[in-house]
Amino acid sequence: MVTSLAKLPEDFNSSLDALKVINDSQQTQTRAFPEFESIVHEVVERQSRKNNLIIFGVAEQPSNITSAQRNQNEHIDVDTILNAAISTSQPSNYKLHRLGRFNPSNTRPRPIKLVLGNESEVHEIIRHAKNLKNHGTYNTIRLSYDRTPRELQRFKDLKRFFFGLIASLRNEMVTSLAKLREDFNSSLDALKVINDSQQTQTRAFPEFESIVHEVVERQSRKNNLIIFGVAEQPSNITSAQRNQNEHIDVDTILNAAISTSQPSNYKLHRLGRFNPSNTRPRPIKLVLGNESEVHEIIRHAKNLKNHGTYNTIRLSYDRTPRL
């Protein structure tokens, strides 16, 4: 009995700590519940509005007609507006009603809410709503999703935030421009020095550009070989026959110059336009596989000087105009 009484305060303290933990947890849940409840309510609200479409700017019907006639006229107006926005497909069935109480002193017509068959019809109409902007009759009509108050407030907050951001940026730009003008005026002498330096470089640039162009031009011609003195082919044969004959002539000339090794593959064409009154044949340009083949043929070109048939043929590198 004494032992149990001695242990009682210890058990009581342990239980008290456990109760404090439970109480803190319940208070946290109690504070979090309203926010959770608000989120659930917002989700349900958006779900209930997903098939709705709001139309702004449709004129009110006269007050002296019946409710049925008013409803019929507004259906006709809405059908015409939807046809102007999207003529290919329109909702086959929908419900409509005006939002708010009618006030004859209010010049702005009340919005019309349409309840469509499904969400995809809403998206399709909104996607084509831009067509109304260029319409002569309905360019003041605006179509919108049915937003919840929380969504509308969010849009207002974002709009206010961006307007504030734009104003802040505008002020920063004005300040920056003023400082930039000051820096520009103080640095004008330095800019003049830079400008003088650039003018010097500009005068030197054409020569540098010419050198670069020459290097590129020589690089593009390094695999080329020019043959002078090869007789022209008759003009009354086909282009294919002419090309074949010239390949045979070139092969024979190269074999006479260097019989040990010849280029296995090359392209050739005559330089310049054919002129039948010109007694001097046009040069032939060969495009070989690599530069070493060109050097090898040029090195043996002297063999043609002692050749009975081809001693008037001359071989040369493909030089640039500058060379």
Cβ–Cβ under 8 Å, residues 145 and 122: yes
Residues 216, 296, 290: CA angle, nearest 5 degrees: 40
Residues contacting 143, CB < 8 A, separation 6+: 53, 54, 55, 56, 85, 125, 126, 129, 132
Overall average pLDDT of the 1-7 stretch: 55
Cβ count within 10 A of residue 162: 10
- Tell me the angle at which helices 2-49 and 149-186 cross, rounded to the nearest 10 degrees: 80
Q: Do domains 52-146 and 222-317 have the same CATH topology?
A: yes
Confidence at residue 1, expressed as pLDDT on a 0 to 100 scale: 52
Q: What is the pLDDT of residue 30?
A: 66
Q: How far is the C-alpha of 223 from the C-alpha of 217, rounded, in Å?
A: 12
pLDDT at 194 over 80: no
The pLDDT of residue 240: 92
Average pLDDT, the chain: 85
Determine the average pLDDT of the residues in 281-293. Answer: 92
Residue 145 phi, psi (nearest 5)? -65, 160
- pLDDT tens string 151-172: 888 888 888 888 888 888 888 8
Instruction: Measure the CA–CA gap between 32 and 26, rounded to whole angstroms.
Output: 10
Helix (H, G, I), strand (E, B) or coil at 239: helix
Say if CB 170 and CB 179 are below 8 A apart: no
Residue ranges in the chain assigned as alpha helix (H):
2-49, 67-85, 119-127, 149-186, 188-221, 239-257, 291-299
- Provide the pLDDT for residue 142: 93
- Cα gap 223→214, rounded to integer Å: 16
Q: How confident is the model at residue 308 (pLDDT cuts 50, 70, 90)?
A: confident
Q: How confident is residue 18, by pLDDT bands cut at 50, 70 and 90?
A: confident
User: 16-30, 73-87, 218-232: which has the minimum mean pLDDT?
Assistant: 16-30
* Token pair belonging to 23: 């109480």
CATH topology of domain 222-317: Alpha-Beta Plaits (3.30.70)
CATH number for the domain formed by residue range(s) 52-146:
3.30.70
Task: Domain ranges for the chain, please list them.
Answer: 52-146, 222-317
